[in-house]
Amino acid sequence: MRRRWAVVALAVLVQSVLAVGLVRARTAGVSTSGLHVVFGAKDRATGRWGIYTTVAGTDEIVRVTPDDGARYNWPTWVFNGTHILYTARFGEPGSAEEIYLMRADGTDVRQLTTTGWRNAQPMLSADERTVLFSSSWDEFKLVGLYSLDLASLQVTNLTAAGAPLGASDTDPRWAPDGAYVYARSIDDAARSVTTQIWTAGPDGVTGRRALVQDRFSNVDPEVSPDGGTVSFGSYRGPGTPARDLTDIDLLELVASGGDPRGFVKIEGWHLVTQDMDSGEQQVLTGGSQCDRPAADPCRPEEGAAFVPRWAPDGTVIGYVSARARGVVCICSVDRDGGDGRSVVERPDLDIDWFDWRPAPGAVPGSLGRIGTALPPDGLLFVGVEGVKGLAVSEPDRFGSQPLAVPDSLVPLGASWSADRRLVAFSARTPFDADRSEPAPPPPPGATRREHYTIDLPHLRADAPSDPKVAEEQIFLLDRITGRVRQLTTAWTEDYMDGARPDDPRANTDPSFSPDGKSVLFTNRSTVNSESFLLKMDLATGEVYSLTNATSGAVQVVDSGGRFSPDGRRVALSIGRGGASVIAVMGADGLGVRTVVDDDHLNLSPAWSPDGRSLVYSSYRGPADPADVAVASTGWRLVRVDIASGKQLELTPPGAPSAFRPVWSPDGSRIAFISSGPSVQPDLFVMPASGGPARPIQITHVTHEVSVDWR
């Protein structure tokens, strides 16, 4: 997946601007001399990007990334200065930009994200457990802030917690107290606003508030080491920070993948500090364009200032500044704006980002945690709008891998086998309603018996005949071979309870047995409300009706069958008038026992991994909703202990409706389909014991309608 940053977003993405000119090495003042500096820069002769290191006060600059044409950027020191966190983009503008980690000398490269879109500005937390970064994921509008847990490499959308409709949150940096600061250019209603400085706790919610609110465009914040002052770049010139773009500029912007850096004004950018308590501001640099000959450069404090960075001791602030035509520095001033100095300059390099710290220390033990808790499980889900079809992902749903099925099939629901090789899914496919083709045939010597039940009028009254319903059938995908085959047709039956010629039937909601040898599914009539549970042996194609084994000639509405973890039992929903009960029976359809019997409509039971509990979706809203099947509220998740029948309501009254629950493989969480602040279907997760539910990821493009977790 790729994302091109739109031209209309230029004005709100200027906080990414860093590259303005080009450099020559110099000595620095006492408070910066000896600091180890890492920076990203473009070689002016070749146009190629690289990451470089140097020691302030020396002339030696070392390139630590290959000269291979990749775009290397956003380097920061991590793990006691022994490693560098950075990004790299291999390929054309607009292609994926991923986050990497390497030793300070450029060796032992590790890739931390594999997404297919642009990730940028990675920052490691003080406890060395979490990477904060910005990302332009197609599924979440514009740019959001995310956290990456280094042990599990799982990603959480922090921006979505406060701005679910999309955002332009960039320039994240950790603060000394464990919160983070960032630049925000879109409000909670997804409207463009003047870029300001905000803060939030590590969950994206706690302490979320504006730190700097004025009439200027403010970007690239960082809190001083003592926590008392925030520094930032502030555009205080005429008009907006964006340059007036010519047609050639626009073409270049598109060719660069929509990257706005280099398309903003150079003049008018100042280094500003604000006291965290009083709100008092100081403007420390002049913001001049410094369009002067290299032999007569501006003083460091006269020019424009970009990406301010506090020195580790908090006495000075560094920044990138153009001092003349072809002369750019990593410069510094003290916290009152005095003692302006050039720390790094070199005319052959075009610097756009930097970090500095004291000499490297010992390699910390926390480095060894990276990737040690990679989840062994994953999600299978179905999207019906935006990105349609089957897809799999890691449990964080940050990205996905589509599964190939024929274009003629649009999956509606799916589950996968315990080993995740096989996927059973339902999809619509045409059939001839006038031509009954019962299958599979009876075994040799056996006689087919047509389905017969006692006529119960209420089952006919609420489901008018609609043969097209029977277009939904079950298919099987083998993920290794890529083969897709149709398992059921409108005439699939247990020959001992054969379908009537005038009743083609839909087959939906497939679920695997634990051993992966059979699939259980709901077989629905098109002439009344009747539905069965059928089980198909995948090797022989034999079909067995669990419903007929118990109900005989009594019409029933059985649905949502799920095998227990040991394969010996099946949980299901049984319709009774306008309500339905949750029951458990043997895997042969015998020994039915009601677990939940109340006046509610109870559907979609799912087993806990230990086989002791079920979670199901229960309609507990108004008595006569306009459309109970898709009511926006009223469908609640309920957990029931199978032995005692004790119930626990997991989702509160008034919460968005919750559908199709499934347990995590370790039994600690429950995932389900719901709509939240984004007002569209998403995958949600909550503790299995109850507690707040949250979207796994808010996805503005894909509307998920089914989820399985293995």
More confident residue, 654 or 6: 654
d(CA 76, CA 88): 13
Which residue's structure tokens are 């099939």? 409
- pLDDT-derived band at 651 (thresholds 50, 70, 90) equals very high
pLDDT tens digits for range 25-35: 444 445 799 99
More confident residue, 327 or 83: 83
* Six-digit token string for 200: 């939030």
- What does pTM read for this prediction? 0.90
User: If you average pLDDT over residues 67-95, what whole number do you get?
Assistant: 94
Mean pLDDT over each residue of the chain, to the nearest integer: 89
Residue 353 has pLDDT above 90, yes or no: yes
Would the CA dihedral through 430, 435, 437, 438 be positive or negative? positive
Q: What is the pLDDT of residue 255?
A: 46
d(CA 250, CA 258): 9
pLDDT tens digits for range 287-305: 999 989 988 999 999 999 9
Residue 244 has pLDDT above 80, yes or no: no
- pLDDT-derived band at 671 (thresholds 50, 70, 90) equals very high
Q: What is the pLDDT of residue 386?
A: 78
**Would you give the DSSP letter of residue 22?**
-
Residue 16 has pLDDT above 50, yes or no: no
pLDDT tens digits for range 503-539: 999 999 999 999 999 999 999 999 888 999 999 999 9
- pLDDT-derived band at 152 (thresholds 50, 70, 90) equals very high
Which residue's structure tokens are 């514009």? 142
* Six-digit token string for 553: 């000639």
For the chain, helix, strand, coil in percent to 5 are 5, 45, 50
Q: What is the pLDDT of residue 677?
A: 77
Q: What is the pLDDT of residue 259?
A: 54
More confident residue, 157 or 20: 157
Q: What is the pLDDT of residue 321?
A: 95
Are the C-beta atoms of 631 and 601 separated by less than 8 Å?
no
Q: What is the pLDDT of residue 263?
A: 57
Three-state secondary-structure class, residue 528? coil
Three-state secondary-structure class, residue 38? strand
Q: What is the pLDDT of residue 627?
A: 62
pLDDT tens digits for range 410-466: 999 999 999 999 999 999 999 998 889 999 999 999 999 988 776 555 444 444 567
- pLDDT-derived band at 629 (thresholds 50, 70, 90) equals low
- pLDDT-derived band at 548 (thresholds 50, 70, 90) equals confident
**Domains in the chain, ordered, with CATH?**
7-369 (2.120.10.30)
Residue 484 has pLDDT above 60, yes or no: yes
Residue 82 has pLDDT above 70, yes or no: yes
Residue in 240, 229, 237 with CA at minimum distance from that of residue 308 = 229
Residue 109 has pLDDT above 60, yes or no: yes
Residue 230 has pLDDT above 60, yes or no: yes
Residues 6+ apart with CB under 8 A from 633: 621, 654, 655, 656, 657
Residue 1 has pLDDT above 70, yes or no: no
User: If you average pLDDT over residues 260-276, what whole number do you get?
Assistant: 83
DSSP 256-309: TTS--TTSB-STTEEEEEEETTT--EEE-S--B-----TTSPPPTTTB--EEEE
User: If you average pLDDT over residues 323-341, what whole number do you get?
Assistant: 93
Which residue's structure tokens are 């090495």? 25
**Which contacts qualify for 462-468: CB closer than 8 Å, 24 or more apart?**
462/529, 463/525, 463/527, 463/528, 463/529, 465/526, 465/527, 466/526, 467/433, 467/504, 467/526
Q: What is the pLDDT of residue 553?
A: 65
Q: What is the pLDDT of residue 529?
A: 85
Radius of gyration of the chain (CA): 31
User: If you average pLDDT over residues 566-594, what whole number do you get?
Assistant: 94
Are the C-beta atoms of 223 and 314 separated by less than 8 Å?
no
pLDDT tens digits for range 117-138: 999 999 999 999 999 999 999 9
